[in-house]
Structure 1
Amino acid sequence: TPDAVTNLGEGGQDGIEEIISRVSSALSRLDDSQHMVSTHQITIDGDTAVGRCYLHAQHIRKVTGGSPLFVVAGRYEDHYVRTPSGWRISQRRIVSMWTDGNLDVVQF
């Protein structure tokens, strides 16, 4: 939604423009990334819903010293609203369950 809110691990973003800017900036600094999302569970209550899904994200960036790989696994916790254009995410929060690799890969 235009007023969506996210918390992707290092503070939140308010509004779709801020979310797009944050995600675009982060992804543009990586050499490659792959985000796999699975096991969606959604509970609908009228025109709102809550859901969760699991993620496994690999991030690749050449850094001085160390592996170019950082992996995070966890889940997204989402809130949805039904709009005239269909269902939209209004809130998303990442809950990290484990990480592996070189944290410098995602330190910008």
Structure 2
Amino acid sequence: MTSRTDHAEIGVLVDRFFHALDEREFAAGWALDFVTDDVRMETPLGTSRGAAAVRSTEEALERYDRTQHIASGILTDAEAGAERATVSWNALMTHVHREATLSERGADADPLFVVGGRFEADLRRTPRGWRFSRVEVRPTWTKGEPPPGVDAR
């Protein structure tokens, strides 16, 4: 059973991570507030590790004008005092296409690409708090079209 403190800290990590993505808070070293050095990111765009995983996250978001990520139903599992934990949550991810993408698609283009799904993650307790060591994005449904050249389904 996860302690209330660990559950709260992990929930805040999820919320802060989504906030950083949406606000594009990508200053040097930004990801160290969220992930371990050897993080493994598994998304519909591919799997990457470490610094490459961080850069692929930034590049994926740069395809859009703006985004909004909403997390709900955060479920954590860790023994009290454990050094490792798991977390899963529902996610609603709304992506607003860049003007260039909309112009390319024509006047009737849908400005939004929306994804509903789940995140599954492993965490490690570090001297700086809980950090994701693995993050997997599992889309359940999509609405609209992803940017050109991206199969995000």
What TM-score do you get using the length of structure 2 for normalisation? 0.64
Cα 1:41–1:90 change in 2 (3 A) is: same
Structure 1 stretches of 4+ with a deviation exceeding 2 A read 103-108
In our comparison, the structure showing a higher alpha carbon Rg is: 2
Q: State the Cα distance separating 1:81 from its structure 2 match.
A: 0.8
User: Where do 5+ consecutive residues of structure 2 fail to align?
Assistant: 1-35
1:25-64 → structure 2 map (5 Å cutoff): 25-45=59-79, 46-61=82-97, 62=99, 63=101, 64=104
Identical amino acids, percent of aligned pairs: 29
What TM-score do you get using the length of structure 1 for normalisation? 0.89
Kindly indicate whether the alpha-carbon contact (under 8 Å) linking 1:60 and 1:105 is maintained by their aligned counterparts in 2: no
Q: State the Cα distance separating 1:105 from its structure 2 match.
A: 6.0
Q: Calculate the aligned-residue CA RMSD, in Å.
A: 1.7
Q: For residue 39 of structure 2, what is the aligned residue in structure 1? A: 4
User: Where do 5+ consecutive residues of structure 1 fail to align?
Assistant: none
1:33-82 Cα deviation digits (max 9, x unpaired): 11111111000032111110110001111322221211000010000111
Task: Pick the structure with more strand per residue.
Answer: 1
Cα 1:38–1:105 change in 2 (3 A) is: farther
Q: For residue 132 of structure 2, what is the aligned residue in structure 1? A: 89
Kindly indicate whether the alpha-carbon contact (under 8 Å) linking 2:63 and 2:147 is maintained by their aligned counterparts in 1: no
Farther-moved stretch of structure 1 (35-44 vs 25-34)? 25-34
Q: For residue 23 of structure 1, what is the aligned residue in structure 2? A: 57
